[in-house]
């Protein structure tokens, strides 16, 4: 019979210790999030209801709900996603599949990396100058969405490039050997097999867009705007809109004698919106990943 040597036993012991350490790290990441959610929900519970979601703020934003701010956030997230996702994916396809290593592509990659490190307030000033003033859009949902799209482009480009690079080169070579063009290979093989990674960048984009305040404060958000309750098309792209992130800031810093639970309720709605959008994206990503053949 084989018996364990001291070396094997030491390796097994080290593996168990490492497993418990990494498990503790994972728990340390999850527990604070759960505590934050529990704290917010417990403080916001007196105001949380369906009416709070589908009614407009009234009484100097001390009463009522968050409908106008909630709908404005949905408009900003969806519009910025519709702008940044196609541009980011196509830019990543060009950089990974078509562009050769040259000074031009190195400049593009450097620009993408630098763009990811620009503070959001700088993006806000750029959006104010480029879209609101120079392009003549004024402070509007369209100008704010374009600003948010530029701010989130680096994440989508980087995640898409990594996903495209993860597709084996043998897949491409097999297609080329049977006469498929480069674009046919990308459209039918590369993109379908990298869609789960692309959605990762989209998930990060949704989370960041919904929570930003500075870019929309300069380009499209307004202190208060009353819209028809229940109307999903109450905003026009040329209109200014309320947003949950700015509404939370306004209620917290500028509204006096507001109910104590009001800021927490707004924060819960904002967090629930982000989590719901992320859950949909993650579910789609899991479904598409389960259909992979490799």
- What does pTM read for this prediction? 0.86
For residue 292, the model assigns a pLDDT of 65
Across the range 49-73, mean pLDDT stands at 89
Question: Is the predicted pLDDT of residue 76 greater than 70, yes or no?
Answer: yes
Supply the pLDDT for residue 294.
Answer: 58
CA distance 80 to 108: 22
Q: Mean pLDDT in the chain?
A: 87
Cβ(132)–Cβ(138) under 8 Å?
Answer: yes
pLDDT for the residue 148 = 92
d(CA 166, CA 111): 23
Q: Is the pLDDT of residue 293 over 70?
A: no
Strands (E), the chain: 57-58, 63-64
* Residue 64: predicted pLDDT: 85
Range of weakest confidence among 35-44, 169-178, 263-272: 169-178
CA dihedral sign, ordered 158, 273, 54, 47:
negative
- Name the pLDDT band for 2 (thresholds 50, 70, 90): low
Q: Which two tokens stand for residue 291?
A: 């259909």
Burial profile 118-139: b = 16 or more Cβ within 10 angstroms, e = fewer: eebeebbebbbebbbeeeebeb
Where is average pLDDT lowest: 3-7, 95-99, 135-139, 162-166? 3-7
Token pair listed for 26: 């994972």
Task: Please tell me whether residue 90 adopts helix, strand or coil conformation.
Answer: helix
What is the rounded CA–CA span in Å between residue 154 and residue 180?
Answer: 31
């Amino acid at each position: 019979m084989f018996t364990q040597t001291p070396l094997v036993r030491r390796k097994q012991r080290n593996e168990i210790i490492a497993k418990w350490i990494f498990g503790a790290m994972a728990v340390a990441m999850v527990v604070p999030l759960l505590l934050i959610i529990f704290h917010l929900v417990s403080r916001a519970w007196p105001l949380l209801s369906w009416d709070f979601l589908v009614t407009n703020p009234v009484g100097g934003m001390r009463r009522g709900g968050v409908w106008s701010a909630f709908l404005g956030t949905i408009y900003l997230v969806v519009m910025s996603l519709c702008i940044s996702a196609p541009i980011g994916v196509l830019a990543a396809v060009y950089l990974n599949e078509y562009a050769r290593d040259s000074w031009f592509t190195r400049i593009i990659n450097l620009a993408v990396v630098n763009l990811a490190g620009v503070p959001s307030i700088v993006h806000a000033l750029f959006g104010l100058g480029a879209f609101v003033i120079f392009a003549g859009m004024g402070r509007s949902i369209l100008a704010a969405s374009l600003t948010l799209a530029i701010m989130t482009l680096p994440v989508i480009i980087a995640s898409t490039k990594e996903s495209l690079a993860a597709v084996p080169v043998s897949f491409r070579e097999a297609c080329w050997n049977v006469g498929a063009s480069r674009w046919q290979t990308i459209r039918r093989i590369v993109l379908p097999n990298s869609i789960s990674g692309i959605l990762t960048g989209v998930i990060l984009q949704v989370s960041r867009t919904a929570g930003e305040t500075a870019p929309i404060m300069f380009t499209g958000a307004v202190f208060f705007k009353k819209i028809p309750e229940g109307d999903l098309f109450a905003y026009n792209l040329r209109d200014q809109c309320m947003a949950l992130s700015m509404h939370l800031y306004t209620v917290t810093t500028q509204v006096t004698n507001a109910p104590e639970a009001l800021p927490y309720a707004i924060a819960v709605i904002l967090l629930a919106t982000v989590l719901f959008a992320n859950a949909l994206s993650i579910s789609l990503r899991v479904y598409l990943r389960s259909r992979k053949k490799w």
